[in-house]
Chain A
Amino acid sequence: MNEHPDKENYLMAGYGWRSWFLTTDHKRIAILYMLSITFFFAIGAFFALLIRLELLTPAGDFVSSATYNRLFTMHGIIMVWFFLIPSIPSVLGNFLIPLMIGADDLSFPRLNLASWYIFMLGGIFTLISILFGGLDTGWTFYTPYSSSYASGQVLNAGLGIIISGFSSILTGLNFIVTIHKKRAPGLTWGRLPLFIWAHYATSLIFVLATPVLAVTLLLMIVERTLHIGIFDPSLGGDPVLFQHLFWFYSHPAVYIMILPAMGVVSEIVPCFSRRKIFGYKMMACASLAIATLGFLVWGHHMFVSGQSVYAGIIFSLFSFLVAIPSGIKVFNWVATMFRGTITFSTPMIYAFGFIGLFTIGGLTGLFLAALGMDIHVQDTYFVVAHFHYIMVGGAIMGYLGGIHFWWPKICGRLYPKGWPGLSALLIFIGFNLTFFPQFLLGYMGMPRRYHFYPEEFQALHVLSSAGASILGVGYIFPFFYLAWSFFRGPRAEPNPWRATGLEWKTESPPPVHNFDQTPIVTEDPYSYEEKP
């Protein structure tokens, strides 16, 4: 052991490229992830911009049908697998899990670095597929279109997703082992921050669902290259089997996106309400329940795919059950705020936004879980609006809220007042303006994945595109003020929000080994009332 512990913070520990690209420090790897997924987010957002531009007018005049199909496919693939799935776990989870449990690093630091390289390798394959013209299968890769008919870069994109999946698996593995094995003395399971519980649940999904996606896309690729027939009806194969396997991963994947965001909100709400979290145990159990139920609902994506009615009924029932733990979470956040001393700091604005948007997204999910209703809105903008409320309204609000909450810890500097709150508001308004009209569009019958539409839908589409531009502006602000803060912002204290949790007990930014002495935990989490 080092006799003179390195007092330097992790950002100052080295400046050369090797000190970053060969680092095993979980905090630096988190920064690597943050930069990479921001890059992917910009690409995905660019495709979204083109999509919304096209939809300004009823005629398909800006891009051709074929181009439009590629745009929404690549928007989906990039945003789902290269931004949303890794977003909170790989950036905030990587940075915070060891800090929150009082450890010096994850259990397998080198594996953690390898995960980032694997992720980037997958990203490169996917970028290559985009550079060579992209693909038009939709992010869902449904067979037999993807396996027999689609032209375009299906192979490269599929390989890229398989590869980046292994990064998810290894990250989840690392988190689970770390949470089991590296907790500080006194940090019992009942004292873990809910952020940790949320990541534990997420990691279970990473480990158990992602391999199924890998093997499903592998079968799709083999079918496409060698025609083994398993998804080809003319050879006896069943394309619906692909849908079963795909959604066995991809429905839990939605909970990979939302659970960590719920963890972030569970940290922010008590801090800015100065209240203990309401119903800690139920909150932790709800995270695990959502992860577990997530594996039993995949069939609700296939109500019209020809699965049996009885299967549909069961899947519908289980889908409704997901509302219980989700409802517990929403009510408990609100109950935490009740009679609290609420401060409208930027992270709290994001948390408010999350709770509202997640509630709308979740409740419209119940519409879709209902067998009869679903047939009416299947494959319409109603579905598009619903999952954007969860993925963008939920996951991205959570991610940005988390970034703003822990930013002083990550880089040791504060961001300015004013701008961040304004951009959070812009994002909230822009988001609703973009996606709420899509509920109406979908209910009236506008199908998804079309680049032209009847003229009576134009007003709502224009509203949606206008909202998207406000949303875009809201996303651009943080780039500037956070970059400014990183270099010029005023220095942050160890605990600028007076928050509980071990991560606030060490300096900002943390030293290389996180804690000078292993912390000993003697109290329950979120003891805000004792220290107002």
Chain B
Amino acid sequence: MTSSASLEDSALMAENRKRTAELGMWIFLASEALLFGGLFLAYFVYRYSFPQAFAAGVRENDLILGTINTIILMLSALFMTLGILAAENDNKKSSLSCLIMTAFLGLTFLGIKSLEYSHKFQHHLYPGGVFMPEKNWPVGERIFFGLYFVMTGVHALHLLVGIGILAWLIFVLSHKPRVRDSTVWLYTFGLYWHYIDLIWIFLFPSLYLLGRFG
């Protein structure tokens, strides 16, 4: 094998690796779509059965915190993209700082989410214990908050895994002289990250908006 041929080969192999990793991630995301799909199905079945209870539940959720969290996740998606772009231009410093910002925003989202969870617990709006003793809630309210915790919980779990992988990527990248070689990883991970954002884009109106002003 001559050296120029091997160079061409390695470029080809890198391209192949990228496409393979991408395809794998897309298939994984298709699978994830059905995972969340099951939850959304349950949500809409019961929303149809108990429109009042679900609207009351939506009004109980904190619109301000939910909106802030939506903005935070969208910003994190922006920084993720900027991080990949910087890596493609082999700008290590800028890429790393963008990725750190992404992870930081992800953590902020989780922080605000846990704040919301603790509010729910203070108001006894959680399943498993004494559920909402103060008001006379309509039937189905418990289901709303049950689904709220399961759906946002599964989403938060995905985000947590994402932040973990991102931290590992940041660690690996910081030890590499050329970040450009790692764009496959970043790009593939970026798909996952955007996907979690996308799930939130569906969760937010379902849990914070639908029926609030109706």
Contact surface of A with B, Cβ cutoff 8 Å: 1, 107-108, 111, 169, 172-174, 176-177, 180-181, 207-212, 214-216, 218-219, 222-223, 225-230, 235-238, 241, 245, 248
Are A218 and B143 neighbours in the complex by a CB distance under 8 Å?
no
Are A212 and B140 neighbours in the complex by a CB distance under 8 Å?
no
Q: State which of B41-49, B110-118, B202-210 sits at the interface with chain A.
A: B41-49
Are B20 and A236 neighbours in the complex by a CB distance under 8 Å?
no
A-B contact count (CB 8 A): 107
Are A228 and B27 neighbours in the complex by a CB distance under 8 Å?
no
Are A210 and B31 neighbours in the complex by a CB distance under 8 Å?
yes
What chain B residues lie within 8 Å of A228 (beta carbons)?
A: 127-128, 142-143, 145-147, 149-150
Are A212 and B38 neighbours in the complex by a CB distance under 8 Å?
yes
Are A229 and B31 neighbours in the complex by a CB distance under 8 Å?
no
What chain B residues lie within 8 Å of A216 (beta carbons)?
A: 38
Partner of B38, one of A172, A177, A211, A223: A211
What chain B residues lie within 8 Å of A210 (beta carbons)?
A: 31
Are B31 and A211 neighbours in the complex by a CB distance under 8 Å?
yes
User: Any chain A CB within 8 A of the CB of B171?
Assistant: no
B78 CB to closest chain A CB (Å) equals: 28
Are B41 and A235 neighbours in the complex by a CB distance under 8 Å?
no
CB within 8 Å for A180 and B34 given contacts A236-B50, A236-B139:
no
- Please, how many angstroms separate the alpha-carbon atoms of A209 and B35 in the complex? 9
Are A236 and B39 neighbours in the complex by a CB distance under 8 Å?
no
Are B23 and A177 neighbours in the complex by a CB distance under 8 Å?
yes
Given A181-B23, A223-B146, 17 more A-B residue pairs with CB atoms under 8 Å apart are A107-B24, A173-B24, A177-B24, A208-B30, A211-B35, A212-B35, A216-B38, A227-B127, A228-B127, A228-B128, A228-B142, A229-B127, A230-B143, A236-B46, A238-B45, A241-B45, A245-B41
- Please, how many angstroms separate the alpha-carbon atoms of A226 and B126 in the complex? 9
- Please, how many angstroms separate the alpha-carbon atoms of A216 and B142 in the complex? 18
- Please, how many angstroms separate the alpha-carbon atoms of A440 and B25 in the complex? 49
Partner of A209, one of B34, B46, B49, B143: B34
User: Any chain A CB within 8 A of the CB of B19?
Assistant: yes
Are A227 and B31 neighbours in the complex by a CB distance under 8 Å?
no
Are B145 and A215 neighbours in the complex by a CB distance under 8 Å?
no
Chain A residue nearest in CB terms to B128? A226
Are A235 and B37 neighbours in the complex by a CB distance under 8 Å?
no
Are A219 and B27 neighbours in the complex by a CB distance under 8 Å?
no
User: Any chain A CB within 8 A of the CB of B32?
Assistant: yes
Are B34 and A177 neighbours in the complex by a CB distance under 8 Å?
no
What chain B residues lie within 8 Å of A212 (beta carbons)?
A: 34-35, 37-38
Partner of A207, one of B31, B42, B139: B31
B21 CB to closest chain A CB (Å) equals: 8
A-B contacts, 21 of them at CB < 8 A, read: A173-B27, A176-B27, A177-B24, A181-B16, A207-B28, A207-B31, A211-B37, A212-B35, A214-B35, A215-B36, A219-B39, A228-B143, A228-B146, A229-B146, A230-B42, A235-B142, A236-B46, A236-B49, A236-B53, A236-B143, A241-B42
What chain B residues lie within 8 Å of A218 (beta carbons)?
A: 150, 154
- Please, how many angstroms separate the alpha-carbon atoms of A152 and B94 in the complex? 55
A125 CB to closest chain B CB (Å) equals: 18
Are B128 and A227 neighbours in the complex by a CB distance under 8 Å?
yes
Are B139 and A235 neighbours in the complex by a CB distance under 8 Å?
yes
Are B142 and A107 neighbours in the complex by a CB distance under 8 Å?
no
- Please, how many angstroms separate the alpha-carbon atoms of A218 and B149 in the complex? 12
B207 CB to closest chain A CB (Å) equals: 14
What chain A residues lie within 8 Å of B27 (beta carbons)?
A: 172-173, 176-177, 207
Partner of B20, one of A169, A181, A208, A230: A181
A155 CB to closest chain B CB (Å) equals: 14
Question: Which 10 A/B pairs are nearest by Cβ-Cβ distance?
Answer: A228-B146, A211-B35, A226-B128, A215-B38, A228-B127, A226-B127, A236-B139, A211-B34, A229-B142, A236-B140
- Please, how many angstroms separate the alpha-carbon atoms of A208 and B23 in the complex? 15
- Please, how many angstroms separate the alpha-carbon atoms of A174 and B36 in the complex? 21
Partner of B28, one of A173, A181, A209, A230: A173
Considering only residues 103-143 of chain B, those with a C-beta below 8 Å from chain A are 127-128, 139-140, 142-143
- Please, how many angstroms separate the alpha-carbon atoms of A282 and B89 in the complex? 49
Partner of A215, one of B30, B35, B140: B35
- Please, how many angstroms separate the alpha-carbon atoms of A181 and B27 in the complex? 13
What chain B residues lie within 8 Å of A108 (beta carbons)?
A: 24
What chain A residues lie within 8 Å of B149 (beta carbons)?
A: 228
- Please, how many angstroms separate the alpha-carbon atoms of A218 and B42 in the complex? 12
B24 CB to closest chain A CB (Å) equals: 5
- Please, how many angstroms separate the alpha-carbon atoms of A174 and B140 in the complex? 41
A294 CB to closest chain B CB (Å) equals: 14
Are A173 and B31 neighbours in the complex by a CB distance under 8 Å?
yes
- Please, how many angstroms separate the alpha-carbon atoms of A228 and B31 in the complex? 25
What chain A residues lie within 8 Å of B127 (beta carbons)?
A: 222, 226-229
Are A169 and B38 neighbours in the complex by a CB distance under 8 Å?
no
Are B46 and A230 neighbours in the complex by a CB distance under 8 Å?
yes
Chain A residue nearest in CB terms to B34? A211
What chain B residues lie within 8 Å of A241 (beta carbons)?
A: 42, 45
What chain A residues lie within 8 Å of B142 (beta carbons)?
A: 227-229, 235-236
What chain A residues lie within 8 Å of B31 (beta carbons)?
A: 169, 173, 207-208, 210-211
What chain B residues lie within 8 Å of A214 (beta carbons)?
A: 35
- Please, how many angstroms separate the alpha-carbon atoms of A215 and B42 in the complex? 10
- Please, how many angstroms separate the alpha-carbon atoms of A346 and B68 in the complex? 67
- Please, how many angstroms separate the alpha-carbon atoms of A208 and B28 in the complex? 9
- Please, how many angstroms separate the alpha-carbon atoms of A176 and B29 in the complex? 14
What chain A residues lie within 8 Å of B150 (beta carbons)?
A: 218-219, 222, 228
- Please, how many angstroms separate the alpha-carbon atoms of A237 and B127 in the complex? 14
Are A245 and B143 neighbours in the complex by a CB distance under 8 Å?
no
Chain B residue nearest in CB terms to A178? B20
- Please, how many angstroms separate the alpha-carbon atoms of A177 and B50 in the complex? 43
B45-72 CB mask vs A (1 if < 8 Å, else 0) is 1100110010000000000000000000
What chain A residues lie within 8 Å of B24 (beta carbons)?
A: 107-108, 111, 173-174, 177
B148 CB to closest chain A CB (Å) equals: 9
- Please, how many angstroms separate the alpha-carbon atoms of A225 and B139 in the complex? 20
